[in-house]
A = this chain, B = another copy of it.
């Protein structure tokens, strides 16, 4: 039997977008879930419906409506997990936190990215991945041969206006993933990034000029459609399987081939 069955996947940022689609796929394939999210009241009803649906699939679902960036809150989650599920039950740590500041680097008049904007964005979208993996490893929550997975984008190697801080964070995230791939090998945690194509999520819609990004993606994509959250959930699932044990330190595009044009 595949070793991911009946094990837990922690999804940081699991209430919508790529994180939610991942949760749904993994539940469907027999995993239990720990969802760390920060949801406004207005979306809680929808989120809870989603959780119920996963539970009806047979999944245990633990949810934490808390700030994934806050060190003490992370410690609370870990303490609670040790009580509720015990050690060595977490097969996967999936980082889907999208909290970055979008501003130009230069403008004659308006606001530009500040040092603080970079700090917050780098912390939320890059260093935070390490913080969670490190804390889980230290608490011995992970199974042997566990998976750490983070979501990156083409922004890691390109420059787009307003996107400077997020781009730097994505580049740092991929580097941190390589570091985890190397340094957590002794405890058996692999780390990989999934580079999703342009996906029509709420996070995307917050980016100024996202309509144009979508248009260009449709034009570039060999299959003429945008990436769906399910495409990404599917790829995460592949990495759960035992056959993926030797994939480590990689950045895997999941975009129908968009990145090659």
Contact = CB atoms under 8 A, between A and B. Distances in A.
Interface of A: 71, 104-106, 112-113, 115, 118-119, 122-123, 126-127, 130-131, 134, 137, 156-161, 163-164, 167-172, 174-176, 178-187, 190, 197, 222-223, 227-228, 231, 234-235, 237-238, 241-250, 252-257, 259-261
Contacts of A179: 105, 159, 163-164, 167-168
A190 to B, nearest CB: 7
Which of A118, A126, A161, A237 has the most B CB atoms < 10 Å from its CB?
A: A118
B231 A238 contact: no
B247 A252 contact: yes
10 contacts: A105-B183, A106-B137, A112-B134, A113-B130, A118-B130, A164-B176, A171-B172, A185-B256, A238-B238, A249-B259
Number of copies: 4
Given A167-B175, A228-B246, 16 more contacts: A105-B183, A106-B183, A106-B187, A112-B134, A122-B127, A158-B261, A159-B179, A159-B249, A161-B183, A164-B175, A222-B249, A231-B246, A248-B256, A248-B257, A249-B253, A252-B252
A223 B185 contact: yes
Given A158-B261, A169-B172, A252 B250 contact: yes
A248 B119 CA distance: 25
